[in-house]
Structure 1
Amino acid sequence: MSGIRRDRNIKIPKRNDKSQSRTTNYSPSRPAEGRRDIPKKVERKPQQQKSSNRNFRPNQNRRQNNQKKQKPRVKKPTPLDDEIWARVVEHDFKNNVLTLLGESKFLLGRYRPKHTNKVLPLGQRVYVGIDLTKRTEVGDIMGMARLDKMSSGADKDLPIVIQRFIEEHETYFIKSFYNPAGFLSLKQHSYELLHGIGNKKATQMVEQRGSSGFSSFEQLNESCGVDAAELLAIRFQSELKDLTLQPRLTELLLPVKT
């Protein structure tokens, strides 16, 4: 019994009792370290010596080399290059632009006048050929001219310019069109291509022409009651406005052969 009593007097320490400190030999271990990386040596690029010139630019030489390599622009050929003589249709003094009608193909072109203080009159004949020494009034070709972009005044003056050209070559158009003109079909005569000429009028003109033909515009106009040069001028203008109009007298009768 005495042994049991002795066991009761044994004091068992509680878990939360921190009054008694326990000593231990534990110490935290040092973290593991691997092989240290040795930094690589960075080679420094030699610095360029600054030029004493303040306007020096590093890319300047490259730009100069690129400019040397660039090829000069080749001027594209245009139908106007074949023209030698042309007539003034409009002189836009404000924008310094000349609208000319080429004599060989009746092509409308835009040109730069050489004199900015001189206005060229309507219908004046000017040289537009490749010989630059003969170009006293006209400079560079600016491009083709469009009828729908021209002023209303130029549109009205165009048939006048064409009519003057036809009158100057009266003999050619008499021999090339009015005298040899024949039937296009069983029912249509070539005269009917002209403005206001119907089948009845065309038959009358053929009768007046006879076998000898017309000798001049004056004879033709008096015998038939028409203006031959004006009729051709209106037809040419219609073909310039409508490129689908067939047959095309501008292609059949031009250029004028003297």
Structure 2
Amino acid sequence: MNNENKKREENIWTLDFLPRGHPEDDRPSYKKDALIQGIGEDYFMLLEAVPKEDKTVSQYDKLYIGSGERDIVDHVKRRIGYSDLTHSAQIELPYVLEEIIKDKEDKFVKFFNDAQPVTTRQHMLELLPGIGKKLMWNILDERDKKDFDSFKDLSERVGGVHNPEKVIAKRIMEEIKGEDIKYHLFLEKD
């Protein structure tokens, strides 16, 4: 792959901070680096990063990892999979996803406004957990009248769509875990 086309995260949100390194790393303590396990806010990449010396972080911290000077992160160590996350990071992931989605609400409201059919029989909206044909048609009818301008607007105009951020977070979790996903809405296939 050409480096120019390589997608890079600018920020990660902290899922877990491991001041003594990963517990499954069997090297002596003095050889282990502190680790941050996090998720990128643009492409939802799971990453491990090494903080600068004497820096600590908390769960839900948003950390800059882009090019140039970084305050907290020294370097990104590697991209990881869901199974590489600590148990604590796995538990926090859905909640951190909801925070990212709320933080980037405009992007996800745009998804509801722009979603299209993926086949002649299935629509992107139906791929979201809890949205079937009837609810999909209600969303499409309402957006034909006027685009949604917020999650609150969506919830008020379409009965049955409560907490859209939770619905999207569940779908992103399915895509991260790779649970029989034929169509990717929010993550790119590797």
TM-score (norm 1): 0.59
1:178 maps to a residue whose letter is F
| 1:220 CA drift (Å) | 0.8
In structure 1, list runs of 5 or more residues that go unmatched: 1-76, 253-258
The structure 2 residue matched to 1:237, chosen from 161, 173, 184, is 173
SS at match of 2:186: helix
| 1:179 CA drift (Å) | 0.8
The structure 2 residue matched to 1:206, chosen from 140, 144, 150, is 140
| 1:206 CA drift (Å) | 2.0
Greater relative contact order (Cα < 8 A, sep 6+):
2
1:108 maps to a residue whose letter is L
- Match of residue 12 from structure 1: none
Checking the alignment, whether the CA contact within 8 Å between 2:124 and 2:185 is kept in structure 1 is no
1:112 maps to a residue whose letter is V
Q: 2: CA distance between counterparts of 1:189 and 1:157?
A: 30
| 1:83 CA drift (Å) | 2.7
Residue 163 (str. 1) matches residue 89 (str. 2): no
Q: 1: CA distance between counterparts of 2:7 and 2:67?
A: 7
SS at match of 1:120: coil
| 1:81 CA drift (Å) | 8.5
Checking the alignment, whether the CA contact within 8 Å between 1:81 and 1:130 is kept in structure 2 is no
Q: 1: CA distance between counterparts of 2:124 and 2:43?
A: 21
- Match of residue 36 from structure 2: 98
| 1:217 CA drift (Å) | 0.5
Checking the alignment, whether the CA contact within 8 Å between 1:87 and 1:124 is kept in structure 2 is yes
Going from structure 1 to structure 2, the CA distance change for 1:222 and 1:153 (only over 3 Å counts) comes to farther
1:94 maps to a residue whose letter is R
Residue 129 (str. 1) matches residue 66 (str. 2): yes
Going from structure 1 to structure 2, the CA distance change for 1:81 and 1:178 (only over 3 Å counts) comes to closer
| 1:222 CA drift (Å) | 2.5
Number of aligned residue pairs? 171
- Match of residue 27 from structure 2: none
| 1:187 CA drift (Å) | 2.5
1:194 maps to a residue whose letter is L
Q: 2: CA distance between counterparts of 1:98 and 1:164?
A: 18
Checking the alignment, whether the CA contact within 8 Å between 1:181 and 1:191 is kept in structure 2 is yes
Checking the alignment, whether the CA contact within 8 Å between 2:172 and 2:187 is kept in structure 1 is no
2:167 maps to a residue whose letter is L
Bigger shift: 166-175 or 235-244?
235-244
2:36 maps to a residue whose letter is L
Residue 181 (str. 1) matches residue 118 (str. 2): no
| 1:248 CA drift (Å) | 1.3
Structure with more of its chain in strand, by fraction: 2
| 1:154 CA drift (Å) | 1.1
- Match of residue 28 from structure 2: none
Q: 1: CA distance between counterparts of 2:12 and 2:83?
A: 20
Residue 110 (str. 1) matches residue 36 (str. 2): no
Checking the alignment, whether the CA contact within 8 Å between 1:80 and 1:109 is kept in structure 2 is no
Q: What are the within-5 Å matches in structure 2 for residues 5-84 of structure 1?
A: 82-84=8-10
SS at match of 2:153: helix
2:182 maps to a residue whose letter is Q
Checking the alignment, whether the CA contact within 8 Å between 2:65 and 2:75 is kept in structure 1 is no
Q: 2: CA distance between counterparts of 1:80 and 1:91?
A: 27
- Match of residue 55 from structure 1: none
